[in-house]
């Protein structure tokens, strides 16, 4: 049975990965337990493992605009360290990346091989991480891009909408950004599918099937919670100016799953139906 190391294990995705692994042998290390910028420590941690799942990341998109060096250190240099250590240990690295490596100007789903063209600092650091990983350990690294994550074990859009529903009569949510809401538990299961299928290299898009806008997602959350979705009103991105530009179109294609005989993640609506009761009681 493969021995698995999880980095960034205390985050929303990392905790779900631990849950779905169950009784399999794994080591879960939080940022406090493993500094992925310390190459010697990374080598020691990776030694003895067959697979490394990297859930560690700098994900503060807006803050990255003024802290790009810090974001680059974690998202690029840290990822590179893990790739070097995995290569040295003969292990497979499964690295979680993002839709932000694309510019969001497409009109049809992005393919796994489409050119990286990030809009802002966060995307640049994640794109650099992908490139450094492939330079260091191309034949032993799997990159899984995801987007619009939500889950039980951390702050996210679903929990925010549920909280605001109890505080406000109406909400205004942008309706001109399209993407794929993705439950971290669904993504965790797909990461394990990659391990079980003995996939050791390639790029996958780990997002839910289907697409919607943030407004459409918010209305679906309200409906699943037994609330009136008409309380959610649409607006455009110009009404919510933020330090970092958001991709207008973040829909990712799923062709790589079929090429490896695997199914993509189910529809975002089915996932939300199952996830919402867990998030509401957390």
pLDDT (0 to 100) of residue 31: 94
CATH of 4-156+182-210+251-266, one of 3.40.50.300, 3.40.50.720, 3.60.15.10, 3.40.50.1000: 3.40.50.720
Q: What is the dihedral sign for C-alpha 203, 207, 208, 214?
A: negative
∠12-169-218 over CA atoms, to 5°? Answer: 40
> Helix, strand or coil for residue 279?
helix
Per-residue pLDDT of 171-195, as tens digits, reads 999 999 999 999 999 999 999 999 9
Domain ranges within the chain, ordered by starting residue: 4-156+182-210+251-266
pLDDT (0 to 100) of residue 281: 61
- Buried-exposed string 25-47: b where 16+ CB fall within 10 A, e elsewhere: ebbbbbbeebbbeebebbbebbe
143: part of which helix (H) or strand (E)? strand 141-146
pLDDT (0 to 100) of residue 241: 84
Which residue ranges in the chain fall short of pLDDT 70?
281-282
Question: Which is the catalytic residue, given 58, 100, 122, 249?
Answer: 122
Annotated catalytic, 122?
Answer: yes
């Amino acid at each position: 049975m493969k021995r698995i190391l999880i980095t960034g294990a205390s985050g929303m995705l990392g905790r779900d990965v631990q849950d779905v692994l169950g009784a399999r042998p794994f080591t879960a290390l939080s940022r406090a337990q493993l500094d992925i910028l310390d190459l010697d420590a990374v080598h020691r941690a990776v030694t003895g493992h067959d697979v490394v799942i990297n859930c560690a990341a700098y994900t503060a998109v807006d803050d990255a605009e003024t802290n790009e060096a810090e974001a680059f250190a974690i998202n690029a240099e840290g990822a590179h360290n893990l790739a070097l250590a995995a290569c040295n240990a003969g292990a497979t690295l499964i690295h979680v990346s993002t839709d932000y490596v694309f510019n969001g100007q497409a009109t049809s789903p992005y393919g796994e091989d489409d050119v990286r063209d990030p809009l802002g600092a966060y995307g640049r650091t994640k794109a650099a991480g992908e490139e450094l990983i492939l330079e260091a350990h191309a034949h032993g690294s799997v990159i899984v891009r995801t987007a619009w994550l939500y889950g039980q074990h951390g702050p996210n859009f679903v929990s925010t909408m549920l909280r605001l529903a109890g505080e406000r009569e109406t909400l205004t949510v942008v309706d001109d950004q399209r993407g794929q809401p993705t439950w971290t538990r669904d993504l965790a299961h797909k990461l394990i599918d990659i391990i079980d299928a003995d996939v050791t290299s390639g790029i996958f898009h780990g997002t839910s099937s289907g697409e919607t806008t943030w407004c459409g997602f918010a209305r679906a959350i309200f409906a699943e919670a037994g609330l009136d979705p008409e309380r959610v009103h649409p607006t455009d991105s110009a009404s919510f100016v933020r330090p970092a530009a958001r991709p207008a179109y973040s829909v990712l294609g799923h062709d790589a799953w079929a090429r490896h005989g695997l199914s993509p993640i189910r529809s975002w609506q089915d996932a939300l139906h199952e996830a919402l009761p867990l998030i509401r009681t957390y």
